[in-house]
Amino acid sequence: MWHITKREIYDNLNSLRFALTAVLLLALMVTNAVKHLREQPKRVQRYQDAVTESSDRLTAHADDSLYKLAQYGPGNFYKKPSSLHFCANGGELVLPDTVKVDDPPVFMTDAEGNRLLEGIWSLSYPDANLQNKNVGPNVSQVDWAFIIGYILSLIALWFTFDAFSGEREQGTLRLMLANSIPRHTVLIGKFLGALLSVSIPFALAVLVNLLLISTANTVHLTPEAWGRLGIIFCLALLYTSLFVALGLLVSARVQQSAVSLMILLLTWVTFVVFMPSTLASIASSFSPAMSFDEFWQQRNPIQENLWEKYKEGLWSSELDDWKLRAKSEFYTENAEREERRQEEQLKYRASQVHRARAITSISPATLLQHLMEGFAGTGFERHLQFVENTQRYARQLREFVADTDRADPESLHILAVREGMSQKPISPESVPRFEDTLNLSRDFNTAATELLLLTLFVLVLLSGAYLAFVRVEV
Amino acid sequence: MLTLIRRELLDNLMTFRFAAATFITLLLVVANTFVLIIDYERRLTGHNDAVNMHQRQLQEKITYSAGEVRVDRPPNPLSIFNVGFDKRLGNEIEVSHKLVPSLWDAGMHGSDNPFMDMFASMDIVFIFEVILSLFALIFAYNAFAGEYESGTLRLVLTHPIGRGKILVAKYISAMLCLIVPLLMSLLLAIILLTTSTSISLNSDDFLRIGGIILTSVAYLSVFYLIGLLISAATRRTSTALMLSMFVWGFLVLVYPNVILTVIPRPESPDALRTSAFNRIENIWETFDRERKHYLATDDFPGEDWGYELRGWGWRSAGFRDYSRILLYTYRSVMDFSGFGEKDEPKMPHAQKHFGFLGALTIDAADRTWLIRKPALEEIFIQPANMERVWLKLSPVGLYDAATQAWAGTDLLGVRDFFHAARQYRQSVINYFYDNKVFESRQWFSGDKGEADWSGLPQFSFQRDDINTNAKRALPDVFLLLMINVVLFIVIFLIFVKTEV
């Protein structure tokens, strides 16, 4: 078997396609690295500036008073850019990188513009809206996901389309099978040979890419990031072996290598290029999205409803305990409902995306894309995780405010109302801070099904190739 | 000659690759047209909803100053062929006297889930781009190389036929074969389009589709000739096949996706932006001074722009600016439904003031546009056009650009809408002047007669006629044809010089 593998590799090493592949992959990977080195520092800088600004806001509020903190909340939240952004950019243009903390709504002002009734902060999830200002052509990112998903898979087919049909045309297949080698050994030898010959230029390109990125002092990769890179490399090999197996399968069944290449390319085009987008649009046409106006129209009845409920307490100018409590409940409930409404819209959109992702998983290219995004810490799942982090932090901060207020004996402990709360400044260090985190074990769990599916694809195709090859007459 | 063509044609028609090509193209095009039509219908519904809603919201307003006249860009039915910018750029915009509307001020009526943009969008031209080029190469790779190997070329050349004729015969017959799947799939797509009730195509649209077909044939021919060139140059089928596939992968897959990240990006012209924004700021500072000057010097004591009117309603005024897109405007809204008794004498003063303010705002907005237009052009459009030129170095880019121009979904086609919106703004302003709307009481109050929106001129946007589309598409089509001619000459030279 090793003999066959070795023969295959030697065969390929000298061929034109090997040279072309190596050049192409190297060029792409160098482009990828250079682009990453140019953009990542800017991205990190932007993130840090934004975080500092939002942290300053929180400090200012805390320095003012506990009430101010309860009313205005923390500054906006920002998504931490992944250091493995070059592996999969994960639709960064479409995904917003922030969760906003809305300023308290003003319900009523007097003639001079003084605020009589003002609520408290709430979370909101803005859209990434830079898209419609961009008048340039669509730019697709040259990330690893693109290089592996499109280019490497095509290369794998390019190396295997004539694995059996080519030998049959030359007659060497007959010669090989005349020896006392079992057919499955031949198949596995061929498989390993092709996989290794694709992996060699790929590994070389990856090496150059990582060398460029890790030696630059503008970006830094943590040990955990290296672990993730290792997983991504293994993923790439798994994905490549899928196409190698496909190539062997078709090549074993078809007599001429030209026909074999054609069938392979058509399959590739259908599964890798067309299927993801077609299936996604089919999925989205099943369940139309909630329109923007509908979304806004929902808001008014809710507010009117609340307004009715707490009317008496809100209108009065006296400040007795009962009225303060009515105000407090009104503000809190209003913020809660506003938040819930936004959250529901996000959930609805997310479920639509999840459905589309599930359907498009028929295409191995999408599977790979999702897995890469998962391990690189970018993409849609990561965005949802970020949103979840902010929600958790929002709860934590509200609890903190309530606890701190409880510790102040002068306060009436009626939250969200100026007169009912502690007016003392609090030390900014004691306020919990938001930290956006990435979690590897969590990624593993979400990726498990997709990983399984991809492995299953490989196994099915390999056994298909085996059956086809065993039954074939030379 | 005819015999040659017939022979080649029969050779090609009876092959597996022809059947596969036709079948796959038909399948992909029909399936995607289906999806694309549903998508178009959804966008059309979204558009109609938005138009109705804007109409309703406008009618509800009882004062002119609170009313927002919004116009919506309808989806282009030919976006099914090439979606271009149709989905990406803003499709609703406010037309008002305070701002000259441009592409960058437009919003999206968000009937769609923005996250779904993560999935790449499709159109028929994209299918052709990928599939037809592949088929063209598959048809071409063994045209010469195969005949060298099987020896039939020698046989053919023993007859007294010119080599040029053989080449032409091969070209014509293969192109005939390749056009079959193209035309058949387009025919089915058009049938599907016409059966859909929401899509109405006029005669101009069919001419545009004709333009798209013409461009597709030119594109197909480029790739066939590339395949022939490789076939004639390599003389071996296996090498020819491998090289063809590499060239295909490079031209269709790698180049269009990679080139924009490789070329050096011009730094965004911050200096230009700042200087333009400063000039715009000056305009509005002058505007503010004049406004305050008027308030201070008019017959009414006090400088309140609302003339201290107390009543039922709300008012707000302020500047809005966004330096990134050089936006600067002043908005003052006063929306009252009734006043107290003692406010009546103030009314003529307020009316006169709003008349003055309206004219002043229009003037400032128009002068802003004179600075803003060329600056936006330089900041946004020119770098984008540069990128487009880079993309056009591959036939795929040329094909995409030309079909976008035919379909009217290119940047210019979308900008036509904003041009129409600007013209509409002018007619709205004229209507306001003619009916003395700024000076009217209805500008800020609905207590004595409400604002009458029914007399407002109607907005209608017609896509430009076919001549304009043709004018925009023809340079790219011409370039494609030139590539064809050059390739043909090169192949002819190689073929004439080769020894059999």
Please tell me if residue A380 touches chain B, with a CB cutoff of 8 Å. Answer: yes
- The answer, yes or no, to whether residue A25 has pLDDT greater than 90, is yes
Instruction: Judge contact between A248 and A160, C-beta under 8 A.
Output: yes
Chain B CA closest to residue A131: B88
CA dist B72 and A369 (Å) reads: 36
Give the per-residue pLDDT at B276: 93
Q: What is the 3-state secondary structure (H, E, C) of B150-194?
A: HCHHHHHHHCCCCHHHHHHHHHHHHHHHHHHHHHHHHHHHHHHHH
Q: Is the dihedral of CA B171, B174, B177, B183 positive or negative?
A: negative
**In a mutagenesis test of the A interface, which of B52, B258, B385 is the best target, namely the one with the most A β-carbons within 10 Å?**
B258
Q: How far is CA A128 from CA A92, A98, B117, in A?
A: 9, 9, 11
User: Which of B32, B239, B245 is facing A158, going by the closest CB pair?
Assistant: B245
In chain B, DSSP finds a helix count (H) and a strand count (E) of 15, 4
Quickly tell me which residue has 């100053």 as its tokens.
B65
Q: Do A293 and B119 touch (CB under 8 A)?
A: no
Nearest CA in chain A to B240: A258
Angle formed at CA A86 by CA A80 and CA A89, multiple of 5 degrees? 65
Q: Coil, strand, or helix at residue A50?
A: helix
Q: Which amino acid is present at A163?
A: A
- CA angle, A343 then A347 then A353, to 5°: 145
How many degrees, rounded to 5, is the angle at CA B172 between CA B169 and CA B178? Answer: 135
Whole-number Å distance between alpha carbons of A335 and A118? 11
Inter-chain CB proximity A289 and B116 less than 8 Å? yes
For the segment B364-379, the average pLDDT, to the nearest whole number, is 92
pLDDT in tens, A292-305: 566 666 666 666 77
Q: For chain A, how far is it from start to end, CA to CA, in angstroms?
A: 20
Provide the residue ranges of all domains of chain A, joining segments of one domain with +. 2-471
Q: pLDDT of A419-455, one tens digit each?
A: 778 888 888 888 888 888 877 677 777 788 889 999 9
Using alpha carbons only, how large is chain A's radius of gyration in Å?
Answer: 30
Give the per-residue pLDDT at B141.
86
pLDDT tens digits for range A251-280: 988 888 878 888 898 899 888 888 888 888
Closest residue of chain A to B36, computed from CA coordinates: A281
Residues 6 or more apart whose CB falls under 8 angstroms from that of B89 comprise A132, A135, B103, B106, B414
β-strand partners of A161:
none
Q: pLDDT by residue (tens digit) across A194-230? A: 999 999 999 999 999 999 998 887 778 888 889 889 9
Question: A262: which chain B residues are within 8 Å (Cβ-Cβ)?
Answer: 16-17, 20, 138
Question: Residue B389: exposed, middle, or buried by beta-carbon count in 10 A (0-12, 13-18, 19+)?
Answer: exposed
Q: Which residues of chain A have a CB within 8 Å of the CB of B117?
A: 91, 94, 131
A320-340 tens-digit pLDDT: 777 788 888 888 888 888 888
Distance (Å, rounded) from C-alpha A414 to C-alpha A424? 15
pLDDT tens for A375-393 read 888 888 888 889 999 999 9
Best interface-test mutation with B: which of A127, A270, A291 has the largest number of B CBs within 10 A? A291
Specify the DSSP element, H or E, that contains B318. strand B311-322
CA A229 – CA A340 distance, rounded (Å): 38
**CA distances for B188 relative to B29, B135, B399, angstroms:** 8, 19, 21
| pLDDT per residue as tens digits for the range B260-304 | 888 877 777 788 899 999 999 999 999 999 999 998 888 877 778
Please determine, for residue A178, whether its predicted confidence score (pLDDT) is greater than 90.
no
Which residues on chain B are in Cβ contact (under 8 Å) with A287?
Answer: none
Task: Single out the residue of A452, A3, A457, A453 nearest to residue A188, CA to CA.
Answer: A3
The reported pLDDT for the residue numbered A448 is 87
How far apart, in whole angstroms, are the C-alpha atoms of residue A226 and residue A234? Answer: 12
Helix (H) or strand (E) segment spanning residue B316: strand B311-322
Who among A91, A141, A261 is closest to B245 (CB)? A261
Are B295 and B286 in contact by the 8 Å Cβ rule? The answer is no
pLDDT, tens only, A57-88: 999 988 888 888 888 888 899 998 888 889 98
Q: What is the pLDDT of residue B486?
A: 96
By three-state DSSP, how is residue A273 classified?
A: helix
- Interface check for A356 against chain B (CB to CB < 8 A): the answer is yes
| pLDDT at res. A208 | 95
Residue A417 and residue A176: Cα distance in Å, rounded? 87
Do residue B122 and residue A151 have CB atoms under 8 angstroms apart?
no
Q: What pLDDT is attached to residue B383?
A: 86
Give residue B225's pLDDT band: very low, low, confident or very high (50, 70, 90).
very high
Q: Do A91 and B121 touch (CB under 8 A)?
A: no
- Least CB-CB distance to B131: which of A258, A269, A277? A269
pTM of the shown model: 0.88
Question: For residue B479, what pLDDT is reported?
Answer: 95
* Chain segment B164-210, per-residue pLDDT in tens: 888 888 888 889 888 989 999 999 999 999 888 888 888 888 999 99
pLDDT single digits (tens) A336-368: 888 888 888 888 888 888 888 888 888 899 999
Nearest to A43 by CA among A89, A94, A99, A101: A89
| Distance (Å) of CA B167 to CA A48, A53, B132 | 64, 70, 21
For the cut 80, the answer to whether the pLDDT of residue B34 exceeds it is yes
Predicted local confidence at residue B110, as pLDDT: 61
Which two three-digit tokens encode residue B341? Answer: 């008794």
